[in-house]
Structure 1
Amino acid sequence: MTIKKHIPNLITLLNLFSGCIALVFATQSNFEFAFYFVCLGIFFDFFDGFFARMFKVSGPLGLQLDSLADMVTSGVVPGYVMFSMLSNSQNEMTANPLFAYLGFIVTLGSCYRLAKFNIDTRQTDSFIGLPTPANALFILSLPLVLQSSSSLLTLEILTNQWVLLSIVLGSAYILNAEIPLFSLKLKKFNLKDNLVQIIFLLFSFLLVLFFHFAGIPLLILFYVLLSVVNNQWVKKK
């Protein structure tokens, strides 16, 4: 029983460790490996709760550790990535060295969202506002889209400091918005109760298959849109 008690927390710490490695790669402008290690951290983040429920060892320590680990992996890392993108977007003739630090608004919004999540009893089966891991994937995919795209329009959009600032502010807002979003956790093993999740997973697979890194921000936007449509459908029923 003692060993089982520590397994979920160990997995949570692996999430934190992955986030630390991702941050190192981000500071070296190696955004691809930063993205992969954030994905690894999110993988651990999913399974720490899974094992805590399976072993019936959920507790306040695990809850706090989970948020602290997410703060690095899904808060500090995307904040630094936006800081880096804003730094590289500025015109040398008009650049304000303080402007790029606005990228850390993503980190502040993530911190506020994680603190709210810990005390919000409404978010046991679904989410209110965009989860920090989903937001982190959105942000981390942007420099990869920029690096892999040959489109001049994409280049102009993702190097425009005002577009990037809009993404930062939009990110902080959607993290904390009072918008119910469905969870990917499967409660019952039948098509009817999991139809929305199945549609999302299939569509996500197709987006990443055909658009690669560019499909990731699209699937996060689709996640929000599908949740809004699903909310309206549930209300009508």
Structure 2
Amino acid sequence: MKHLPNFITLLNVLSGCIATVLAVQNKLDLAALFVFLGILFDFLDGLAARLLKAYSEIGLQLDSLADMITSGLVPGIVMFQLLTMAEKDGWNLDMFGMHSEVGILPLFGFLITMASAYRLAIFNVDENQVTSFKGLPTPANALLILSLPMILMHQNTPILNNIILNPWFLMGVTVLSAFLLNSRINLFSLKLENYSFKDNGIKYLFLIGSLILLILMRFLAIPIVIALYIFTSLLVQPKN
């Protein structure tokens, strides 16, 4: 049973690999599905490790390697695809010297992957990020990026399309993503050491509020939930 957490982490790796292939094929809705599945496995491996008390250095490293694929590489590819779509959608970037037949602009999306790698490397050597995080966790960032194509596909409106497929908006989201991943902002962890409302009141209220938003607004709620997570953390200011 002590190997169960690592096996669950490997399922995260598999989910990330499948999501990568689907994202490269521009099947972004299916890629998002496997990223969501990988993030679920990322939650379950930690839960299994706590229940079985099966902590190990290998497990820590493996978890970050899995996150690098599912929550680091895939969002970068998705942003690459979105920027490619923005270029083909009639936005004239020639006047800014940014248009290229070989697709230079879409490569900007991989700033997310680079920032994710750096964030995970810091996390692995930072012993203080136990009860809270410094910077946006890569799974939360992946959800933010993956929400964009899901909004395009399932909550299609001309206004939202024009915003999301604006290359300046996408580049702004990419820069914001890279900043949030490696910022020094303290963000509370959703891990529960016990089920007491007194100790976890903020977490319970946040989860309930997020669930209500997701039911009412579907994928459009995800960026709002991420913003709420950051805003709530700034109010609470968790300490390690």
Please indicate the TM-score interval, normalised by the length of the shorter structure.
Answer: over 0.9
Task: Within 5 Å, give how 1:189-204 maps onto structure 2.
Answer: 189-204=195-210
Percent identical: 47
Task: Within 5 Å, give how 1:76-225 maps onto structure 2.
Answer: 76-90=73-87, 91=90, 94=94, 95-96=99-100, 97-225=103-231
Amino acid at match of 2:84: S
The CA RMSD measured in Å over matched residues stands at 1.5
Cα distance between partner residues in 2 of 1:150 and 1:62:
41
Task: Within 5 Å, give how 1:55-66 maps onto structure 2.
Answer: 55-66=52-63
Cα distance between partner residues in 2 of 1:29 and 1:206:
30
Cα distance between partner residues in 2 of 1:228 and 1:92:
37
SS at structure 2 position matched to 1:5: coil
TM superposition score normalised by structure 1: 0.92
Residue in 2 aligned with 1:36? 33
1:164-199 deviation line (CA, Å, top 9, x unaligned): 001001000001100010111112322121111111
Cα distance between partner residues in 1 of 2:2 and 2:192:
24
Cα distance between partner residues in 2 of 1:195 and 1:8:
28
Q: CA deviation at 1:229?
A: 1.4
Cα distance between partner residues in 2 of 1:173 and 1:129:
8
1:87-134 deviation line (CA, Å, top 9, x unaligned): 111147532221110100000010011011111111111111100000
Task: Determine whether 1:68 maps to 2:69.
Answer: no
Contact preservation (8 Å) 2:91, 2:166: no
Q: CA deviation at 1:151?
A: 2.6
Match among 2, 7, 11 for residue 10 of structure 1 = 7
Q: CA deviation at 1:5?
A: 2.5
Greater mean alpha carbon deviation, residues 12-21 or residues 188-197: 188-197
Residue in 2 aligned with 1:54? 51
Query: Gapped runs of 5+ residues in structure 2?
Result: none
Q: CA deviation at 1:62?
A: 0.8
Cα distance between partner residues in 2 of 1:134 and 1:42:
9
Cα distance between partner residues in 1 of 2:156 and 2:68:
33
Cα distance between partner residues in 1 of 2:35 and 2:179:
21
Greater mean alpha carbon deviation, residues 19-28 or residues 71-80: 19-28
